[in-house]
Chains A and B, each alone.
Chain A
Amino acid sequence: MPETLPQYLAMHAERTPNKVALRERIYGIWQPVTWKQYYEHVKYFALGLHALGLKPEDTVAIIGDNRPEWLFAELAAQSMGAKSVGIYQDSVSEEVLDIVSRSDATFVVAEDQEQVDKLIEVWPQLEGQVHKVIYYDPKGLRNYTEDYLMYFLDVEALGKEYEKEHPGLYEESVARGKASDLAILSTTSGTTSRPKLAMLTHGNLISMGKNLMAVDPMEPDDEFVSFLPLAWIGEQMSSVACALNVGFKINFPEAPETVQHDMREIGPQMVFSPPRIWESLVSQVQVKIEDTTRFKRFMYNWAMPIGYRMAETRFRKEKPSWGLKILYFLADWLVFENIKDQLGLRRLKRAYTGGAALGPDIFRFFHAMGVNLKQIYGQTEIVGIAVVHRDGDIKFQTVGLPIPETEVKIAENGEILMRSPAVMVGYYHDPEATAKAIDEEGWLHSGDAGYLDEDGHLIVIDRAKDVMTLADGTKFSPQFIENKLKFSPYIREAVVFGGDWPFVTAFINIDFANVGKWAEKHQVPYTTYTDLAQKPEVYEIIKAHVLQANADLPPAARIRRFLLLHKELDADDAELTRTRKVRRRLIARRYDDLIGALYSDARSVPVETTITYQDGRTATIRTNLRIEDVDTSD
């Protein structure tokens, strides 16, 4: 059996050379790459890098949208015994500099002008460490004269020449690879600190792929659409580890804006997305239904309760009655199938959500429509996935059961511990953090609080540090309350406070697109995001949604005061991680005056923020934020 990812690639290229491995939509047409072509691109790019001086102890950093070249570059580095590190494509240049320098990268593969510009900006700090910056979309780069820039195809051509003088070098290098070799450095999301670099071996990635596929098998003819950042472990898991294990097809959309359209054309069998994608799909359906004809809205309102009843019956593992079955068949045929078709979810075998907690309402929504959405749990340090729901055994408050070869236990302090062949070797250049994360017996300390229920399902409460003790002494997860709020299509992000305070309060970010649409329809004039967020009418609809969320919460956990933030929380301002998780502590520090006002009698609070535009200009926003009181009695 192959031990490394490049060995898997060679195996597929030999067994099924002419089968489609990858597809990319270019010029509006899906253009296939066969396993043989995939192999050759990797081979020649690898030889090219070798000719340019890549050594086995080196790292190749990759930044860009999801394209075949991203995978070529990753596997090429691994073929030569080196490792790759992915950088989120929306990172600003300081973040790029940070990852490139900390990972000791000697080559950077950057997609296009946008990414190349970031590297040119920080080049003085990288000179001497990085040999070449290699781009694969030459658009706009014609007049660049920096001698360290090189075109992807030229590197491949160099590799082809190199092979003539050194035949067999690539094959030997791949054959030398061992499961214990490092394959990738993967950035952790870093909700509490700057991202760490987890060292993952070929063995880690392959064992995760094998074990997940043992639970949820995929076929070589199945399709997958790769649209989430390849720097994220979840996308590495599907597009690299699982895909090379099984040999299913990876499809790359034309542009970020065409994902939905392209997804519908492909009709994938598996989707893995973080909660925000599922949340936005629900918002989209809700808003479209608001906008549609009366007849369609009537049909939707007729079908959804039937779907919910069916989902509840299945969650309770009961047999649905014949009457319900017939009704569900009709609802599915008339309504759900069409919605699923629009979302590209019609041929789905299963869908996963992971990376953060997903609200139960969103879970119910998809199961009502017959989408087999399952929760997974894991973290970068264990290749993204360790625990998953089994088909037909779904409890939306849990994250399921461990995958094969994986042990889960709860430490005395309530922390979740995991052990499996997929646990990382350690953090790159950080033995201290490694010692904290992995103990002598090989248990990975997750930093999450949780417990096991009577069926052995794992229940994750929240990051252990985030769990708050309410005024009445109960422990509560702020994320749970936030997810309740985010089920509303008008609420994009929420940050809940309450641990050290007598009651619970929240910052809320409105969803600009959906609230904007609502305002247009109800003839509420507005200019900017800040202006819209402070409209009394907007406060009214958000308040209605807060009341709705409060109704499902125990009295002590109910939100008593909230305000609508004047700006969207943004990863560029370090308020969110690149995977869009809230950096709670940083936000609390930055906006401590707002929190102070929430816990006073103030009706409003003045804010002044400086915004940096992308071109470097700054502007100051001065405004008053209204604070709304909510009645929390039953």
Chain B
Amino acid sequence: MLRGFRHTLNSSRLKPGETQLLVENLHLSFGGVAALTGVSLEVRQSEIFAIIGPNGAGKTSLLNSISGLYKPQRGRITFYDGTRAHELIGKRPYQIARLGIARSFQNIELFRNMTVLDNLLAGCHVHMKSGLLSAMLYWGPAQREQIAFREFVEDIIDLLEIESIRNKKVGALAYGLQKRVELGRALAMKPAILLLDEPMAGMNSEEKEDMARFILDVNEEHGVTIVLIEHDMGVVMDISDRVAVLNFGQKIAEGTPDEIRKNPVVVQAYLGEEQAAFPFAAGAAGGPHA
């Protein structure tokens, strides 16, 4: 019996550690409100890169700029696919998705009345080559393509352990499972980079633990680069390779979890927001994932 994965989920041709995404001096404002002011960062192939910061720091704006939903006024976002560099600003979201930048959303964005399987197949859609007519006839290459997609999607189902809900409607599932399906849908795009916007928001600690394990599986097993926004410091400090901290639209720190924990500027930013105990003070050990 052949087990394990027959497909790779990673479409990047870079070697681990090479620069994959370069954000330079990014400025984004809505009218008079500056969401991002001069943010620069570098994401390397096969790492887990976390973006943290207080509410309104510009984390989601940054992610939206990368995936093409927002148009920054100044700066550059460059994506390297192994053969050439692509300038992302100015591209439409679907073009960026086709380059291999997949994402999940803070609020679940799935087709609620479709099954889990159909939602995942919809994620493969960006890679579909057959035209409308041959797809309607379900003949020849179109048929072969659909079968290949289904096989690919089954690998994702296996990875995320959602066999038992394969044919259930997404709307009827528990919240934690919907989040898992959304991760699967992003994976179905065969991403080079996966952008996850608060993948664990609203989960209980058991669901968070599961999710953290799936993210690690995707990263370790398939080498997919992951950029994530997350509020649970325990999780962030546990699974990330590098962390960037945003505050009021500016990057105030970047480094390994250990460096971030000790950084006085970061401590200041968090204490300024909330007089209560500093989130890292008890150490990540206080979090549920230590």
Q: How many residues of A contact B (CB 8 A)?
A: 22
Given contacts A28-B166, A254-B163, A257-B163, contact A67 B1 (CB under 8 A): yes
Q: In this assembly, does B259 line the interface, its C-beta being within 8 Å of a C-beta of chain A?
A: no
Please encode chain B, from 159 to 186, with 1 for each CB lying within 8 Å of some chain A CB and 0 for all others.
1010110100000000000000000000
Interface stretch, picked from A133-141, A501-509, A546-554, is: A133-141
The CA-CA distance from A254 to B163 in the complex, in Å, is 7
Could you name 9 residue pairs across A and B whose Cβ atoms are closer than 8 Å? A24-B1, A26-B3, A28-B157, A137-B4, A139-B3, A139-B4, A139-B158, A254-B163, A258-B163
Q: Which of B151, B217, B220 contacts A27 (CB 8 A)?
A: B151
The CA-CA distance from A261 to B163 in the complex, in Å, is 11
Task: Output the least CB separation between A118 and chain B (Å).
Answer: 17
Q: In this assembly, does A590 line the interface, its C-beta being within 8 Å of a C-beta of chain B?
A: no
Q: Chain B residues with Cβ under 8 A from A153's Cβ? A: 2
Q: In this assembly, does A142 line the interface, its C-beta being within 8 Å of a C-beta of chain B?
A: yes
A137 B164 Cβ-Cβ under 8 A: no
The CA-CA distance from A64 to B158 in the complex, in Å, is 17
The CA-CA distance from A626 to B3 in the complex, in Å, is 51
**Which DSSP category, helix, strand, loop or mixed, fits chain B's interface?**
helix
Given contacts A28-B154, A67-B1, contact A139 B164 (CB under 8 A): no
Q: Chain B residues with Cβ under 8 A from A258's Cβ? A: 163-164
The CA-CA distance from A33 to B2 in the complex, in Å, is 12
Task: Output the least CB separation between B243 and chain A (Å).
Answer: 22
Inter-chain pairs besides A69-B1, A142-B220, A255-B163, 11 sampled, C-beta below 8 Å: A26-B3, A27-B155, A27-B157, A31-B1, A136-B1, A139-B5, A140-B217, A140-B221, A143-B220, A255-B164, A258-B163
A26 B1 Cβ-Cβ under 8 A: yes
The CA-CA distance from A27 to B155 in the complex, in Å, is 7
Q: Chain A residues with Cβ under 8 A from B151's Cβ? A: 27
A27 B221 Cβ-Cβ under 8 A: no
Q: In this assembly, does A68 line the interface, its C-beta being within 8 Å of a C-beta of chain B?
A: yes
A27 B3 Cβ-Cβ under 8 A: no
A255 B1 Cβ-Cβ under 8 A: no
Q: Chain B residues with Cβ under 8 A from A142's Cβ? A: 220-221
Q: Chain A residues with Cβ under 8 A from B4's Cβ? A: 137-139
Chain A minimum-CB-distance residue to B5: A139
Chain B minimum-CB-distance residue to A137: B3
Task: Output the least CB separation between B182 and chain A (Å).
Answer: 20
Q: Chain A residues with Cβ under 8 A from B220's Cβ? A: 140, 142-143
The CA-CA distance from A136 to B159 in the complex, in Å, is 15
Chain A minimum-CB-distance residue to B285: A617
Task: Output the least CB separation between B238 and chain A (Å).
Answer: 11
Chain A minimum-CB-distance residue to B220: A143
Residues of A that sit less than 8 Å from B by CB: 24, 26-28, 31, 33, 67-69, 136-140, 142-143, 153, 254-255, 257-258, 261
Please encode chain B, from 1 to 30, with 1 for each CB lying within 8 Å of some chain A CB and 0 for all others.
111110000000000000000000000000
B3 A28 Cβ-Cβ under 8 A: no
B1 A68 Cβ-Cβ under 8 A: yes
Interface centre among B4, B158, B161 (most CB of A within 10 A): B4
A261 B164 Cβ-Cβ under 8 A: yes
Interface centre among B3, B157, B166 (most CB of A within 10 A): B3
A138 B163 Cβ-Cβ under 8 A: no
The CA-CA distance from A31 to B2 in the complex, in Å, is 11
Given contacts A26-B1, A68-B1, A136-B1, contact A257 B164 (CB under 8 A): yes
Q: How many residues of B contact A (CB 8 A)?
A: 18
The CA-CA distance from A255 to B164 in the complex, in Å, is 8
Chain A minimum-CB-distance residue to B217: A140
The CA-CA distance from A143 to B217 in the complex, in Å, is 11
Task: Output the least CB separation between A168 and chain B (Å).
Answer: 26
Chain A minimum-CB-distance residue to B164: A257
The CA-CA distance from A27 to B158 in the complex, in Å, is 7
B163 A28 Cβ-Cβ under 8 A: yes
Interface residues of B in 5-61 (CB under 8 A from A): 5
Q: Chain A residues with Cβ under 8 A from B161's Cβ? A: 255
The CA-CA distance from A295 to B164 in the complex, in Å, is 29
Q: Which 6 A-B pairs have the closest CB atoms?
A: A27-B154, A257-B164, A138-B4, A258-B164, A137-B3, A255-B163
Q: Chain B residues with Cβ under 8 A from A27's Cβ? A: 151, 154-155, 157-158
Q: Chain A residues with Cβ under 8 A from B221's Cβ? A: 139-140, 142
Task: Output the least CB separation between A111 and chain B (Å).
Answer: 9
The CA-CA distance from A129 to B221 in the complex, in Å, is 31
The CA-CA distance from A31 to B154 in the complex, in Å, is 14
The CA-CA distance from A433 to B2 in the complex, in Å, is 43
Interface residues of B in 89-146 (CB under 8 A from A): none
Q: Chain A residues with Cβ under 8 A from B217's Cβ? A: 139-140
Chain B minimum-CB-distance residue to A37: B1
Interface centre among A27, A143, A255, A261 (most CB of B within 10 A): A27
Task: Output the least CB separation between B285 and chain A (Å).
Answer: 10
The CA-CA distance from A1 to B5 in the complex, in Å, is 42
Task: Output the least CB separation between B65 and chain A (Å).
Answer: 34
Chain B minimum-CB-distance residue to A72: B1
Chain A minimum-CB-distance residue to B6: A27
The CA-CA distance from A140 to B4 in the complex, in Å, is 9
Chain B minimum-CB-distance residue to A33: B1
Chain B minimum-CB-distance residue to A614: B209
Chain B minimum-CB-distance residue to A111: B3
Q: Chain B residues with Cβ under 8 A from A28's Cβ? A: 154, 157, 163, 166
The CA-CA distance from A608 to B114 in the complex, in Å, is 48
The CA-CA distance from A503 to B172 in the complex, in Å, is 49
Task: Output the least CB separation between A41 and chain B (Å).
Answer: 8
The CA-CA distance from A508 to B27 in the complex, in Å, is 63
Q: Chain B residues with Cβ under 8 A from A143's Cβ? A: 220
Chain A minimum-CB-distance residue to B205: A613
Chain B minimum-CB-distance residue to A41: B1
The CA-CA distance from A142 to B219 in the complex, in Å, is 12
The CA-CA distance from A31 to B151 in the complex, in Å, is 14
Q: Chain A residues with Cβ under 8 A from B5's Cβ? A: 139
Chain B minimum-CB-distance residue to A136: B3
Task: Output the least CB separation between A333 and chain B (Å).
Answer: 28
Interface centre among A24, A69, A255 (most CB of B within 10 A): A255
The CA-CA distance from A258 to B168 in the complex, in Å, is 12
Please encode chain B, from 211 to 255, with 1 for each CB lying within 8 Å of some chain A CB and 0 for all others.
000000100110000000000000000000000000000000000
The CA-CA distance from A402 to B252 in the complex, in Å, is 79
Q: Chain A residues with Cβ under 8 A from B157's Cβ? A: 27-28
The CA-CA distance from A140 to B164 in the complex, in Å, is 21
The CA-CA distance from A27 to B3 in the complex, in Å, is 10
Task: Output the least CB separation between A45 and chain B (Å).
Answer: 11
The CA-CA distance from A257 to B168 in the complex, in Å, is 14
Q: Chain B residues with Cβ under 8 A from A139's Cβ? A: 3-5, 158-159, 217, 221
Chain A minimum-CB-distance residue to B165: A257
Q: Which of B3, B159, B166 contacts A138 (CB 8 A)?
A: B3
Q: Chain B residues with Cβ under 8 A from A31's Cβ? A: 1
The CA-CA distance from A153 to B159 in the complex, in Å, is 20
Task: Output the least CB separation between A39 and chain B (Å).
Answer: 15
Task: Output the least CB separation between B158 and chain A (Å).
Answer: 7
Task: Output the least CB separation between B90 and chain A (Å).
Answer: 39
Chain B minimum-CB-distance residue to A151: B4
Interface centre among B5, B157, B158, B161 (most CB of A within 10 A): B158
The CA-CA distance from A28 to B166 in the complex, in Å, is 8
Chain A minimum-CB-distance residue to B151: A27
Q: Chain B residues with Cβ under 8 A from A261's Cβ? A: 164
Task: Output the least CB separation between B30 and chain A (Å).
Answer: 41
Task: Output the least CB separation between B143 and chain A (Å).
Answer: 17
The CA-CA distance from A27 to B150 in the complex, in Å, is 9
Q: Chain A residues with Cβ under 8 A from B159's Cβ? A: 139
